[in-house]
Amino acid sequence: MTKYSLHNTDLEISRIAYGCMGIGGSWDDSPLTDETISKAINSVSAALEGGINFFDHANIYAQGKSELVFGKVLKEIKGIRDNIIIQSKCGIRFPGDPNPESPGRYDFSYENIIGSTNASLDRLGIEQLDILLLHRPDPLMHREEVAKAFDELHTKGKVRYFGVSNFNPGQMTLLQNSLDIPLVVNQIEISLLHHHVFNDGILVNQLSGKYAAATGIMDYCMLNNIRVQAWSPVALGKIFNPSVDAEKCVKKLARKITDYAEEKNTTEEAIALAWLLKHPAGIQPIIGTTKPERILNSCKADDIELTREEWYTLFTIARGNPVP
């Protein structure tokens, strides 16, 4: 698979990444089962077979079990640690943690960043994360605390590089202003059904209440050499299998993706991901299916180059309107 050089690092990352949220099984405190472990090994093996070397985690996935089972995978598939990149995230806290009345919240305190990272390393059974991301913006962030935590984790060799997830340009600028090392990643939701970052650019000076605010995220990241990662790049499969009550444009989009897949002798997953890969930012989709066949189908996107006309055809259908 094609590799990207991740700016301000010595990392060569696969064009497509594997998101490990689903490999941990149920989101509760039940123990890992042999079946979950076996399925995780099969999923990771398929990703490796497809040329993926980048694996994305978060401390909350399956309440820690996704990292835990990946640690078992690392022991089962000998010798892969030196050939893969492991990224994790921290900052989200569940309701009831640590007290029953505690609300769900975001926590970028020094103590939580350090504690969460150490816990992730323990579950993964490794000494160092390649990349650590802050999961969702915390309105109570004290950037000096974040800088202190990042500096400690980096100095002690526990984290090599840092980034964010779901941040806007102002939040990235504010945080970067207090850091001695550059942010290298921003992971945001992007898909044909969640295309606000692209509408952002073409709706300049236009009135529209339909689209979410995404002002300048792509431009900022490109200007500052921050790699954009796309979570939920196929909208949980809704792109391929729209519900009965889905909008007409979603059903039309699914048909067009199928048409292109047949024309190009490839898979529907490859077409949907190739749409993201066409963008000049070098977006890195984070695929999350646990099915080996779908993982391999997704990796075929690396071989597909959509034309401008095909890209805009899919974009226009997904928008439900022509471009202005």
Which residues does the annotation mark as catalytic? 61
Query: How far apart are the C-alpha atoms of 253 and 259, rounded to whole Å?
Result: 10
Please list the residues that pair with 105 across neighbouring strands. 93
Q: Is 35 helix (H, G, I), strand (E, B) or coil?
A: helix
Which of 67, 66, 139 shows the shortest CA–CA distance to 105?
139
- Residues contacting residue 128 through CB under 8 Å, at least 6 positions apart: 121, 157, 158, 159, 160
> Residue 131 is encoded by which pair of tokens?
């990349």
Half-sphere exposure of 45 (CA within 13 A, CB side): 13
Dist. CA 186–CA 131, nearest whole Å: 11
- Do 149 and 114 contact (CB within 8 A), yes or no? yes
Tokens 């915390």 appear where?
138
Partner residues linked to 186 by β-bridges: 164, 228
Contact in structure between 145 and 110 (CB atoms under 8 Å) = yes
Assigned token pair, 5: 């050089």
